[in-house]
Structure formats: structure tokens, C-alpha cells
Amino acid sequence: MNEDIVNLTMGAIFWLVLTFGAAWVSARYMPDAWYRRLNKPAWNPPDAVFGVVWSLLYFLMACAAWLVWREADWGGFTGPLGLYLLQLLLNAAWPWLFFRRHRPGVALADMVVLWIAVAATMVSFWHVMPVAGVLFVPYLAWLSFAAVLNFSIWRANPQVT
């Protein structure tokens, strides 16, 4: 097999495993009885929607990272791919803060920093390869919705921080 094909395949596997590893960490902290007791807006999607949406978003993120890695190789870790890793960490922190620690206000602060990190990643990916930046648009849109939902839940439940 051609060495380039092997390297590209291994790179794709690496980014998929890394990205879905963050998804696995996030999935460790799921809605529980505490969450079910919270006041939520009527437009809060059913729990089943989140798994489907996040699976698609993680796949798009991994594809975008792979495309940028292909262009930037490992040297990109100091720029666009470094931002990618940062946003993955912030992404994995949110469910722990919200569902495990029961801190929607702190989770909202994480979400704001995450949104900024994702926007920066999207722009930096765009500069390397425009299609990689475009692949981040649904993620940023979903985070915008999730931030408004997080804020609404936090405000509707003053008994929690």
C-alpha cells in the first residue's frame, strides 16, 4: 500500500479516535434525576435529540481537524490544531460542570469560553482550508443554541448556581 495512503488513513483514524474520545468523556455525565427536576423552557429538545446532533457534530469536527492536519501536518499543533485541542477540552468539561457538578452557571461560563474557542478554531481552519472552516459552522450554531438553553435553565432555577 502506498505510504501516503497509510499516513492519511492513520491520520483520519487518529482524529476520529481523539474527537470521539472527547465525546466518550462527555457521555460519562448524562442527565440525571437532578436535571429532570429542573425547570426547563418549553423549547428544550427531547434528550434523544442531543445524542444524534452531537454524534454528527463530533464527526464533522474530526473531519475538519483531519483536513487541516493534512495541510499543516503536525506543525499545525501550535496554531489551528492547538485551538482544536483547546476547544475539545472545553467541550468535554461542560457536561461534567453541568450534569456532574450541578453548576449551570459555571457551565455557562465554560460555554462562553468554548464558543469563543470554537469560533477561533473555525476561522483558523478556514485560513488553512476553507471547507474545514465550513464544517465548523453547524457546531458553532448548535453551541449558540446550547448556550441560550443553558442560560435559560440557569435563570429558571435560581436555587442552583
AA identity, residue 97: L
pLDDT category at 72 given cuts 50, 70, 90 is confident
Assign domain 3-156 one CATH number from 1.10.10.60, 1.20.1260.100, 1.20.1250.20, 1.10.240.10.
Answer: 1.20.1260.100
pLDDT at 91: 97
Distance CA 43, CA 46 (A): 9
CA distance 99 to 96: 6
pLDDT interval class at 4 (50, 70, 90): confident
pLDDT tens profile 85-144: 999 999 999 999 999 999 999 999 999 999 999 999 999 999 999 999 999 999 999 999
CA atoms within 13 A on the CB side of 91: 27
pTM score, two decimals?
Answer: 0.92
pLDDT, greater one: 38 or 72: 38
**What separation in angstroms does the CA of 24 have from each of 20, 29, 33, 141, 157?**
6, 9, 21, 22, 28
Is the pLDDT at 76 greater than 60? The verdict is no
- Which grid coordinates belong to 61? 469536527
Tell me the pLDDT band of 25, cut-offs 50, 70 and 90.
Answer: very high
Asked whether the beta carbons of 82 and 121 are under 8 A apart, the reply is no
